[in-house]
Amino acid sequence: MAFEWLKGHGTENDFVLLPDHDGSIHGPDLDPRFVASLCDRRRGIGADGVIRVIRSAALGQPSDGEWFMDYYNADGSLSEMCGNGVRVLVRHLIDDGLVSADQPIVIGTRDGDKIITLDAQNLVVDMGTPTVGDISKIAVDGHAWEAQDVRTGNPHAVAFVETLDDAGTLLTEPEYDHTVYPDGVNIEFVVRQAPQHVAMRVHERGSGETRSCGTGACAVGVATALADSASKPVTYRVDVPGGTVHVTWTADDHLLLAGPAQIVARGQMEWLL
């Protein structure tokens, strides 16, 4: 099977993009084995996930946006939303002249429509309204912490730790309460750096530790604001291993995620596996 591909990243959270505008190249759904092979960093292109660039109508998805982010985790499982991935998708659409950066861009996702604007070199995503749940427990190597449940398109468990080294290697998934997260969860480990400034590491369900997580940074912003009893609007700088993003919790209860996105490679390939 021959097809076009692109490689991009947002704060080093990297993705393979597959242009398939009318859905005629890759069929109605991507094969999970194909996705996992593409994402393999030794046998494939290597990425944290795959984004099919497809029109909403071609996928049969209800959306006010022309384009849909058909997103898959590195293991081939579907994901509702990816804050870094949607910026990379929009970067590609702008660079290739498929959308105009002069006005807000609407992208359909499995977590509903997202509105993206260009602000200087950053793309700003309106991630919508977060949902705050209860406190549960997460654990690594026998050490446990309380974790705040925050839903920002994906489920997150946010734990404040003394040092990011407390997360261990993150080569295996931390323990968590499966009754709270029956479909899995992204787990963030957070340390405070300064007022309204934190750093985090994340283990993403279906991908393992990644260099950044957009929905996770938003969840961390919410959890930190709650811990600080901060009044809205409030903005937090969130440092991730791959760079820095900024999360604003607005007065009308929306989350704005601001960060860079870049396309780094593209080509044609024939898949032989």
Q: Which residues are catalytic?
A: 82, 213
**Are 240 and 217 a contacting pair, CB within 8 Å?**
yes
* H runs (alpha helix) in the chain: 32-39, 56-59, 83-95, 214-228
> Nearest-CA neighbor of 214 among 191, 243, 194, 175?
243
Structure tokens at 231: 């009044």
Structure tokens at 222: 């919410």
* H runs (alpha helix) in 96-246: 214-228
**Are 92 and 72 a contacting pair, CB within 8 Å?**
no
Structure tokens at 155: 């489920």
**Are 17 and 51 a contacting pair, CB within 8 Å?**
yes
Amino acid of residue 258: A
Distance of CA 246 to the CA centre of its chain: 14
Torsion (CA) 153, 155, 160, 162 in degrees, nearest 10? -110
Question: Cα-atom radius of gyration of the chain, to the nearest Å?
Answer: 18
Neighbours of 165 (CB within 10 A): 11
